[in-house]
Structure 1
Amino acid sequence: MSESSTPPIGNSDRRGESSVELHPLIADRWSPRNLDPTAGLELEQLRPLFEAARWAPSWGNSQPARYLVGIRGSETFDRIADSLSRGNKAWAPAASALVIGIAVVLDEEGHPLPYSEYGLGLATQNLVLQAVAEGMIAHQMAGFDAEAIAEAFGLPDSVEPRVAIALGRVAPPETGPIDLRERDAKPRRRRSLDELVSGEAWGTPAF
Structure 2
Amino acid sequence: MSTPVLDRAANTTVPVLDILAERWSPRAFDSTTPIDEAKLAAALEAARWAPSANNTQPWRFIVARRGSDLHARILDGLLGFNQAWAGNAAVLIVALAEETTADGAPLSHAQYDLGQAVAHLSVQAHADGLVVHQMSGFERATLEQLPGVEPRFAPTTVIALGQFGDVDSLPEVLQEREVAPRVRRNLDDTVLASA
Question: Same fold per TM (> 0.5)?
Answer: yes
Q: Is the contact made by 1:149 and 1:161 (CA closer than 8 Å) also made in structure 2? A: yes
Change (3 A) 1:172 1:152: closer
Q: Return the letter of the residue paired with 1:110.
A: G
In structure 2, what is the equivalent of residue 36 of structure 1? 30
The alignment status of 1:58 with 2:59, answered yes or no, reads no
User: Shift of residue 154 of structure 1?
Assistant: 5.0
In structure 2, what is the equivalent of residue 76 of structure 1? 70
Structure 2 unmatched ranges of 5 or more: none
Which 10-residue stretch deviates more, 146-155 or 113-122?
146-155
SS at match of 2:146: helix
SS at match of 1:86: coil
Q: Is the contact made by 1:34 and 1:177 (CA closer than 8 Å) also made in structure 2? A: no
Q: Return the letter of the residue paired with 1:116.
A: A
User: Shift of residue 32 of structure 1?
Assistant: 1.1
Q: Return the letter of the residue paired with 2:134.
A: Q
Q: Return the letter of the residue paired with 2:172.
A: I
Which 10-residue stretch deviates more, 96-105 or 171-180?
171-180
The alignment status of 1:92 with 2:86, answered yes or no, reads yes
User: Shift of residue 87 of structure 1?
Assistant: 1.4
Q: Deviations over 1:118-155 (max 9, x none)?
A: 11000000000011011011100000111111113252
SS at match of 1:37: coil
Q: Distance in 1 between matches of 2:80 and 2:170?
A: 18
Q: Is the contact made by 2:167 and 2:178 (CA closer than 8 Å) also made in structure 1? A: no
Q: Distance in 2 between matches of 1:67 and 1:115?
A: 17
User: Shift of residue 54 of structure 1?
Assistant: 0.4
Q: Return the letter of the residue paired with 1:30.
A: W
Change (3 A) 1:173 1:92: closer
The alignment status of 1:114 with 2:103, answered yes or no, reads no
The alignment status of 1:162 with 2:144, answered yes or no, reads no
Q: Distance in 2 between matches of 1:180 and 1:53?
A: 29
Q: Distance in 2 between matches of 1:111 and 1:40?
A: 40
User: Shift of residue 51 of structure 1?
Assistant: 0.3
Q: Is the contact made by 1:36 and 1:172 (CA closer than 8 Å) also made in structure 2? A: yes
Q: Looking at CA atoms only, which structure, 1 or 2, has the larger radius of gyration?
A: 1
Q: Distance in 2 between matches of 1:84 and 1:173?
A: 21
- Aligned counterpart in structure 2 of residue 127 of structure 1, from 107, 121, 134: 121
Q: Is the contact made by 1:65 and 1:116 (CA closer than 8 Å) also made in structure 2? A: yes
Percent identity for Structure 1 against Structure 2 = 38
* Count of residues in correspondence between the two structures: 193
Structure 1 length as normaliser, TM-score? 0.86
The alignment status of 1:199 with 2:186, answered yes or no, reads no
Q: Is the contact made by 2:97 and 2:110 (CA closer than 8 Å) also made in structure 1? A: yes
Structure 2 length as normaliser, TM-score? 0.91
